[in-house]
Chains A and B, each alone.
Chain A
Amino acid sequence: MSKKEEKPYILSRPLTLIYKLPISKTLPFWEGLKQGKFMTTKCKKCGRITFPPQADCPSCYSSEVEWVELSKEAELVTATAIMVKPSSFAQEETYIVAVAKLKEGPKAVGWLKGVKPDPAELKEKIKPGMKLKVETIVPKEGSPYYVFVPA
């Protein structure tokens, strides 16, 4: 697939967009991560545990939800390793993104650490049911987050 010569163009005026993402209604989740806790919401009316947390129950539409601490125990559902990264992740080493089923029922998406993102190793190790645990991370810069690691 030969590279064709670029056609004439004019560069647009540059624009950098940085959005402020509201977290008022999920604050206990973010505060919890800082204390090593993995928190989410549970509906007081129908009992549904949601992940990610949300202030309004998507099952019964009640807005009476309580915050509960999750056990951090999980099982792998599926995973991928991101070799070609978005521009804002360009500085990261190849990372594995997993979907895991939490012991309490809901699933969660997050990075899987502790497995080498090498195709041969991935093929051998990435199997549904692999036992995982959740670890909370508080980086020097940016917001806290969580990762999965093999249990």
Chain B
Amino acid sequence: MRRVAVVGVGHSKFGRRDDVNLGELAFESIKPALEDAGLAPEDIPLLVVGNAGFCEEMLPAVAIADYAELYNAELMRVEAACATSSAALAAAYNAVSSGKVDIAMVVGCEKMTELDTPYIVELIGRSGFFFWEFQHFGLTFPGYYALHATAYMNQYGATEEHLAMVAVKNHKYAVTNPYAQFRQEITIEQVLKSPYIAWPLKLFDCCPITDGSATVILAAEEQAKKLTDTPVWVEAIEGCAGSANLSKRESFVGLKAAQVAAERAFKRAKITPDKIDVANVHDCFTIAELMAMEDIGFCGRGEAYKLVEEGQTYIGGKIPINVDGGLKAKGHPIGATGTSMIYSLTKQLRGEYIKSNQAPIKHGYALAHNVGGTGHYAYITILSRK
């Protein structure tokens, strides 16, 4: 296997983007990523599109490749629910690492707001285990995570206030992120007073419905060193499947798929969780950030909410988490979230992130935790600047 580096990243504005279609939105991150890498469209021999499928384009990869005329590339589309573009990144990484291609582009792009909210709630709810959970019982995605929140709070004594603290932090960091959907600070009181969506989760525990795109360009070691003085190395990208049917799940206080993916990633990268300087974790709901911290191994079981209470997940704390606003406030365009995490972490490791959101880089490692479904898929990516 060859070493692989991130050599270019690009990001669109996230939010309700009813001013652009799928191709136009993808272009907003493709162009800056190519400029960042110093490459032209014809230099891309492999294009992997991450799109979970919420807009009218049945063949989203084709629509995107066509708009940017990336006709020289082998083209494929990958789906792994909310971990879609991490899976797309894994596919591209495998192709570069194996020597099949020297360069690959991963475009994560999702257009969600073309449908009205009740239909999006319907489609995302159907993305769990449709036949045995949605058809008769109408589970929603907030509902899937709420089942875990109830179990976690009952087992460890965490409260709705602790969940609110996660939302408050992520909103704080979104204020200075120009790409973020919600650029306003919120208070614990506002979160607690917001209406229930799926008890015990409230409106401000939930990420929004978002349109957005983020692009990552990978290169093999030799090409990466020619293209850039600041390659960010992919030390590991590891995934794992989890039970779709919740009835087959042993526990509801963590996500097994994420635990296994994290163990595999740390083993591959030959480091331990304490070497991570900054992390982006899949905070689609506030409870998900707490479970992620424990699944990754930043702390023991039932300890995440205590770290949050101490402010240890802010910049300056033990482990800064989601200091770009996270899914909660930056927004969660399903198929673009994985590559958006890689965008933020690449900038962090280069030391060129938004000044107020730049975490101190001591060990030179960053981690992205991207979950599809409620741990139906999970991907952990470890990046380094070494």
List of A residues within 8 angstroms of B132 by Cβ: 52, 109
- Interchain nearest-CB distance for B207 vs A (Å): 14
**Cβ–Cβ contact B147 & A97, under 8 A:** yes
Residues of A within 8 A of B134 (CB): 86
Closest to B154 in A: A128
Contact A78 B138 (CB under 8 A): no
Q: Cα distance A128–B154 when bound, in Å? A: 8
Q: Which of B143, B154, B196, B246 contacts A107 (CB 8 A)?
A: B246
In the assembled complex, the Cα of A119 lies from the Cα of B19 at a distance in Å of: 39
CA distance A25 to B76 in the complex (A): 34
Q: Tell me if A18 is interfacial: C-beta within 8 Å of chain B.
A: no
Inter-chain CA distance A122–B154, complex, in Å, is: 12
- Which chain A residues lie closer than 8 Å to B137 at the CB level? 95, 97, 109-111, 145
A116-138: CB near B (< 8 Å → 1, else 0) gives 01010011001110000000000
Docked complex: B142-169 residues within 8 A CB-CB of A: 142-143, 146-151, 154-155
A86 CA to B154 CA in the complex, in Å? Answer: 27
Closest chain-B Cβ to A102's Cβ sits at a distance in Å of 9
Task: Assess the A6–B18 pair: CB atoms within 8 A.
Answer: yes
Interface check B195, CB cutoff 8 A: yes
Chain A positions within 8 Å of B273 at CB level: none
State the CA gap A9–B252 with chains docked (Å).
43
* A145 with B199: CB separation less than 8 A: no
**Looking across the interface, which residue of chain B has its beta carbon closest to that of A137?**
B136
Stretch from B119-127, B216-224, B275-283, B309-317 that touches the partner: B119-127
Chain B hits for A79, CB < 8 A: 147, 150
**Is the C-beta of A43 less than 8 angstroms from some C-beta in chain B?**
no
Q: Is A83 an interface residue (CB 8 A)?
A: yes
Contact residues of A between 64 and 95, Cβ < 8 Å to B? 77-90, 92, 95
Q: Please tell me if B39 contacts chain A, counting CB pairs below 8 Å.
A: no
Interface status of A24 (Cβ within 8 A of chain B): no
Q: A27 at interface (Cβ–Cβ under 8 A)?
A: no
Pair A78/B148 contact, Cβ less than 8 Å: yes
B residues near A117, Cβ cutoff 8 Å = 199
Residue of B nearest to A21 (CB): B131
Are B18's CB and A88's CB within 8 A?
no
